[in-house]
Structures are given as structure tokens and as C-alpha cells.
Structure 1
Amino acid sequence: MKRRDFLAASALLSLLVPSSALAANKKKAAAPTAAKPVAKGASKVAAGKASPKATATKSSGRASARRGGRHTYRPVVETPATPPAAAASPPPAALEPRNAISLPDEPLPQWRTYDITSTITLNHVKGKVRIWLPLAQYKDTLWQRSLGHSWRGNFDSAGIYRDPVAEMEVFYADWKDGAATPQLQLVSQVAKQDRHFDITRRGSIAERGEVLRRCLQSTNLVPTDGLVRRTAERAIGRIKDPVAQGKAIYDWVVENTVFESSQSGIGRGDVEAMLDSGQLSGKSADIALLFVGLCRSIGIPARPVFGLRVDSSRLFSGLGATGNLRVQQHCRAEFYTPGYGWIPVDPADVRKAIQDERLSSGDAKLVVLRKLLFGFWEMNWIAYNAAQDVKLHGASGGPLPFLVLPQAEAAGARFDSTDTHRCSYLVNASRVDG
């Protein structure tokens, strides 16, 4: 998208939200972004400073064995924790490169810092129990920083392991046979800012070859041949430029899919079944993975990015979330082109806004939103991982198509947080930067 298109989109944002809300957001953006000091004695630790030679670790045995205690984690190696105040502050915004919406006479993007608190209680379970929760992506980016994790509960042991191939971190906790009511609270601190793609800026750092190869592979639910490839070829026509090809596939997905709000979770992501049936309806994972599969089938590296809505939206109310976030998981996507790097897209939220707001194809609000969400991610969402066909460490069951919900196994039987009979799951986000 050209700079003038972004400017037009910015000017028309007033169509998407009331002017009073925009004024409030500008006032909030102008406020200082320094994080509040962490209270004395709080056990928060910085993430992402580990030695590349180390592998996954867990809390020390004696500390982990204490029931109801509070535990801290520094990924990969155990070293003295970074002082909490320093851990809570992302790098100064002045060091961040400019983007398409940040004009020279405008303030640089502002960071927001959130504490994400997940509380899980299991009921009616027998035998040995293990819980897995996906964590915010551990690699720092220009739009997200993972600042640390802390946890407490009546578990027998707990820790965090890293899957370097899938580039994800997962928290786990174990209870021995006979635990009456397993309980856990996990707090993660994450800093966010908006993410923008600027087509006028080239020269991004090239992605590693093994990552790009992995983002071209087919998966159990996302094949890259047959009907998937033929559909992608029809969508791009004679277009040769990879950015324009990605835009053509994005437009095709937006025009041909339907957001299905009645489904639970974020969907199954079975792209082949969607195309075979001709029923291109589903939730965010279905729509995002359809985009990913079409891109991969014509040689464009692409990946889904699974995460959680943590705040209200400046665009439409249905694209944000507050309060209990237990069902606010959401999947976005990105594709890679040489010279520009990873380009963010969110076709599922375009379709969700169409349904929620009953937008017609010619509605000015839809025109703006459709342009904006090709190359833009709003900061009200945290990314977990882009992993597919996930094998949980220590699980007795088979792989998952993706990991975005808390998972549990009791006596070898797996269930997730949507099983309200056995799992009480609450998650909320609070701003900690003023």
C-alpha cells in the first residue's frame, strides 16, 4: 500500500469511530509511556536475554515443589533477574524506525504495557494432571516485547519450555495423582505498539532460509497442491510482483469468505475441506489459514499468527475485547517478500466487521478498513506463536493443529479450556504503563 493510501485511511478513521473516541486516543497517546515501578517483592523477570546455547529449563526442584508458592522464570538459563523497573520498560520509542503513518510532524508510536493474568481451576479430574498454556512470543519485534512471567498455584512442579523449531514458548504445570482441585495463576507482562507496513521502505533484514522453507510447507489441514493451488492461481491471474500477489490473495479471501460467529473457538483451519465443500465460512483461524495456504501454494512464504485480544479497538468495538478474555483468541497472518520482509494482514477481522456492522460492499467504512488491514495490526492483540501441527511436551495424545487455548490432560485424557465442566478459565489484561 502506498503512503498516500495510508494517509487516506488515517483521514477516514473518523468514519470508523466517534470523534470523541479519537480525541481520547490522541490524548492517551500523548501521555508518558514509562511503566509503573513494580511493587517491592514482586517476582517478575525479564525474558529473551538467554544464551543461545542453552535449551528449555524449569524452575529449581526445591522451589517448584512448594505448594502454593510464587515462582519466577527467566527463559532458557537461570541467572539473576533483571531489576523489575528495567524489565517493564521497552526500548525508547525514539529508537524505533518510522512507519507509514508516523509523519515527520507527528509523534512517534507509543508503547503500551499489559499484565496478562490467566487463572485456571480444574474440577472432576483424576490421576496425574498436566496443563499447558501458550505464552507471548519470546522474540522481540518492532511491535511486541515479552517482558517476563511469574506464576503460583498448588502444583507439584511447573516451568516453561521452548520449542526452537516452532519458535514458541509454552508454560506447563504438573499435579500428582490425588490432587483434589488443581489451581494455577500465571501473569505475563507484554509491551505492544501498532504494526505498520510501508511499501515505500525497502531494505529489511532477510529472513533465515529454514524459516522460509518451513513457511512454504503443507500441513495436515493446509495442503499446498491440487485445488488450493488452482484457487490461488485464479486469484492472482497474471500478476508477477510478490507484494501484489499477496494483495490479490488477500482481496480474494476477503471477497469470498464469510465470518461464522456461531462457531466456538477460532475455528479448525481445515483449508482443504473448506475449498472442497465450497463453504468458505468460519472463524479467524479458518480465514487466516486459507490466506496462508493460498500464498504457500504459489511459492510465497506465509504463516498464521495465533494470539489473544487484550484491549478495546479504535476501529470497531467487535475487533477489540475487555473484561474476561477467555474466548477472545484471534488469528492473524503475515507473508514474506524479499526486500520488505514480513507483511501483516488480517482478512478475518475485515469479514468480522462486515458481519458485526452489516457493512455493504460499497460502504466507505469498509473501503478504509479493507485497505488498512492489509499491512496493519492494531496494538490491542498479543501474538503467541505461528506453530502448526503442535506436539505438546510430555503429552500422551497426538499433535494439535495449533496451540492458542490452554490444554490439559488428566489420566491421559486431553481437554481444553472450552470444557467448562472440567476447566474454569479466566484471563484478563490490565494496563501497567499509566
Structure 2
Amino acid sequence: MTLSRRTLFQQSAALGAALALPSLATAQGQASQQRSFDPRPGKWRTFEITTRVDVPVPKGATRLWLPVPSIDSDWQQSLESGFTTNGQARFTSDQAYGAKMLQVEFPASESRPYVELTSRFRAQNRATDWSRRHAVLEDAASLAFWTQPTALLPTDGIVRKTALQATRGARSDIEKTRRIYDWVVANTYREPKVRGCGEGDIKTMLETGNLGGKCADLNALFVGLCRSVGVPARDVYGIRLARSEFGYKELSGNPASLKGAQHCRAEVYLGGHGWAAMDPADVAKVMRLETPEWIKTTAHPVVAPVNKALFGGWEGNWLGYNTAHDLALPGSKGPKLGFFMYPIGEDDNGRYDSYAPDEFKYQITAREA
């Protein structure tokens, strides 16, 4: 679907009117569907995640890179990792972002390359208390880093123009972030046909008016818009591991098989609150897929608690691998990665398709300790 920018903002205005004036019949019909979604921190959960990669028919020398949990914060603690393989393997990391990975190399003589990586980590729910402010020390140079453009996240041109329109009249970073979050929820949508998690090419999305996508598209758009108006923001790339404690099937993972469970989230830095969790893409996912109908309003009782909670919070049934963009894999002959949350492989024929785990064979499972 291609929309002109004029049409896009007309539709946004129409949607806002629809949100403000739900029909009585709609409200009555939705009352019986009222849901709860209110993740709160305080209970740490320990998980073990295992990624197994097999290359059944290698073409020459084979190289693999697997993401390793790299984040240590007040919501995640990355613990030990170990592996088994018939190749030469080592743990390494990206210099710019500190993204950890397991790098494995196999000679052309190895007919059945494989590696199995197991990592442990702890996670908990997140929720920002907007009523309280506290002193947060963050290096100015670090915050400036999180406002810089990347290959897929430009901060000028149509990106900045869109952000300025969305934040017109906002005086604080919190107000800007709220306006951008609401704009993304109102103007984008979950497109199930997009492969993997999407590509995150936000300039093309805005130029074409095609604002359908998945998490790596919609949350990237949120992050890029925030950066373009000076709000430090970053994508956090990871994978959903377990069921939602609130019963949302689209916000759950199946630990026995996590194919397709990769999911990126976002964070923004806000004075007095520090790094705050954000996930407008999951709002879009619930709107499109949680019920048989495509829900078109955040006032819907299935969507409303999710829309509220994911501005400042998220559920701890998820692993964050890293925050890396434009990642050059060590020893790779292929291009840089826009992001890194899938196993990556190459042989003499080039790079494997990580979005096709039945062809580039990998299996990801998890268990909670």
C-alpha cells in the first residue's frame, strides 16, 4: 500500500477522531474483552537459551556467527555462555557497540559443520514510574552517540521533517517521545507478509508512504524519529522466550521452538528517568494479530493496556542480545549487518538466508531455571 504524505496525515487525523469518539455499540461489544497487561519489576527470572546450527551441504569453507547476550543492566544480567562444535570457535565482540558473538570457522574438508551455543541470563519486567524523578548519571558523549545516524536510521531529510511535524509544540524530551510513540502507533501497521523482522529502512518507508512492517521496521522508525529531534534512542535486538504472564498470545514465545521469535524493542533516554523501555511495534502486533479482527483503535480493551504499558515498560519474557547497527562481522566476506539478532552463516557461495531456518538449519530453544 502506497500513501501520499497528505493522505497519511489525513488518515492520522481521522484515526485520532475515531479514537476520541468510539460508538456506543463498539464500546458495549468490547467490554467483555477487557484485558490486563501491566508488567512490573521485582521478580528476576533465569533462562537458558540454546542455539544449534547445522550446515548439511556446505560449499567450501564455512563461517558462522551467533549472537551472545551482551547486555548487563537493571533489567537484564548476561551470565555465562558455552559451546560445542567440530569447528574452530571463539567468543569475540564488536568494538563500537560491544555486541558479543560466537565466531566459528570450518575448513572445506568438514562435511557436516555444526555448533551448539548455550547461554544463561536473568531478566525482569520493566516499568517507568513517571511520577518520580531521580538523578541519573550518563556520559554526555554516550548520549550523543545514541543520537547519531546509521545507514538505515538517517536523522535528516524526510525523517527529521516527519519528527518535527509529529512533535510540534512539544517542550520536553518526554513530550517529544510521547508524540512520536503515538504517531508510530497511529500511522504504521503490522504487515505479516514481511520476511523475518523486516529491514528497518526508515527513509524508504517514509518516502514511499508504505508504513507496514514488523518490529525491526516500526521500532526503527520510532528510534530514528527520536534521534532526529535530539532524543537519545536505540533499538535493542533480541528474542522472545516464554509465554506472556498476561495471556497475550502475540506477546509470547514458545520455548520448545523459537523459530521466528526474534523481536527488537527500543529504549529512549529521558532526564530524571534514565533509559526507558518502549515498544510501539508490539502495539501494532496486538492490533493486527491478537484477535481474529484487525483492531484499528488503541481504545479497544485488548489494545489499550498494551499501548499504555509499552510506553515505558515491557515484559521480561524476552532476551536482549545487543544494540548494534552497521555491524561488520569479523572474518566475513559479506556486507555489514543492519542489525544482529539471527544466526549468520557464509560459505564459498556467499551468505545464507537467515530468514529461512529450514534451509540454513538452526533451532533455538529455551528453558527457565
TM tier, shorter chain? 0.7 to 0.9
Match status 1:134 vs 2:67: yes
Match status 1:329 vs 2:262: yes
Q: CA deviation at 1:135?
A: 1.1
Q: Residue type of the partner of 2:57? A: H
> What is aligned with 1:371?
308
Among candidates 268, 276, 283, match of residue 350 of structure 1:
283
Asked whether the 8 Å contact 1:123–1:422 carries over to 2, the reply is no
**Worse-superposed segment, 242-251 or 129-138:** 129-138
Write out per-residue CA displacement over residues 266-285 of structure 1, whole angstroms, 9 at most, x where no aligned residue.
00000000000011110100
Asked whether the 8 Å contact 1:120–1:424 carries over to 2, the reply is yes
Asked whether the 8 Å contact 2:39–2:126 carries over to 1, the reply is no
Q: What is the CA–CA distance in structure 2 between the aligned matches of 1:210 and 1:180, rounded to whole Å?
A: 48
Relative to the length of structure 1, the TM-score reads: 0.73
Match status 1:359 vs 2:291: no
Among candidates 231, 236, 250, match of residue 167 of structure 2:
236
Q: CA deviation at 1:136?
A: 1.1
Among candidates 154, 170, 191, match of residue 260 of structure 1:
191
Do the aligned partners of residues 180 and 169 (structure 1) sit closer, same or farther apart at CA in structure 2, a change above 3 Å counting? same
Write out per-residue CA displacement over residues 34-53 of structure 1, whole angstroms, 9 at most, x where no aligned residue.
xxxxxxxxxxxxxxxxxxxx
Match status 1:143 vs 2:71: no
Q: What is the CA–CA distance in structure 1 between the aligned matches of 2:238 and 2:304, rounded to whole Å?
A: 26
Do the aligned partners of residues 173 and 112 (structure 1) sit closer, same or farther apart at CA in structure 2, a change above 3 Å counting? same
> What is aligned with 1:220?
151
Q: What is the CA–CA distance in structure 2 between the aligned matches of 1:407 and 1:123, rounded to whole Å?
A: 15
Asked whether the 8 Å contact 2:125–2:313 carries over to 1, the reply is yes
Gaps of 5+ in 2: 1-30
Describe how 1:44-123 pairs up with structure 2 within 5 A: 109-123=42-56
Asked whether the 8 Å contact 1:136–1:190 carries over to 2, the reply is yes
> What is aligned with 2:355?
418
Match status 1:388 vs 2:325: yes
Q: What is the CA–CA distance in structure 1 between the aligned matches of 2:131 and 2:358, rounded to whole Å?
A: 52
Asked whether the 8 Å contact 2:59–2:349 carries over to 1, the reply is no
Q: CA deviation at 1:314?
A: 2.7
> What is aligned with 1:409?
346
Write out per-residue CA displacement over residues 133-177 of structure 1, whole angstroms, 9 at most, x where no aligned residue.
111124x2111111111110211x111112242121111111112
Q: What is the CA–CA distance in structure 2 between the aligned matches of 1:376 and 1:295, rounded to whole Å?
A: 17
Q: CA deviation at 1:360?
A: 4.2
**SS of 1:289 mapped into structure 2:** helix
Equivalenced residues, count: 332
Describe how 1:312-323 pairs up with structure 2 within 5 A: 312-315=243-246, 316-322=248-254, 323=256
> What is aligned with 1:273?
204
Q: What is the CA–CA distance in structure 2 between the aligned matches of 1:405 and 1:416, rounded to whole Å?
A: 10
**Worse-superposed segment, 378-387 or 122-131:** 122-131
- Between 1 and 2, higher relative CO (CA 8 Å, sep ≥ 6) is seen in 2
Match status 1:16 vs 2:43: no
Asked whether the 8 Å contact 2:65–2:103 carries over to 1, the reply is yes
Asked whether the 8 Å contact 1:344–1:377 carries over to 2, the reply is yes
Do the aligned partners of residues 343 and 411 (structure 1) sit closer, same or farther apart at CA in structure 2, a change above 3 Å counting? same
Q: What is the CA–CA distance in structure 1 between the aligned matches of 2:138 and 2:34, rounded to whole Å?
A: 37
* Percent of residue pairs identical: 36
> What is aligned with 2:27?
none
Q: CA deviation at 1:203?
A: 2.4
**SS of 2:118 mapped into structure 1:** strand
Write out per-residue CA displacement over residues 110-151 of structure 1, whole angstroms, 9 at most, x where no aligned residue.
11111101111002212221100111124x211111111111
Aligned-residue Cα RMSD (Å) equals 1.9
Write out per-residue CA displacement over residues 392-417 of structure 1, whole angstroms, 9 at most, x where no aligned residue.
01111221111111101112611243
Q: What is the CA–CA distance in structure 2 between the aligned matches of 1:256 and 1:101, rounded to whole Å?
A: 26
Gaps of 5+ in 1: 1-11, 23-99, 103-107
**SS of 2:303 mapped into structure 1:** helix
Q: CA deviation at 1:424?
A: 1.1
> What is aligned with 2:5?
none
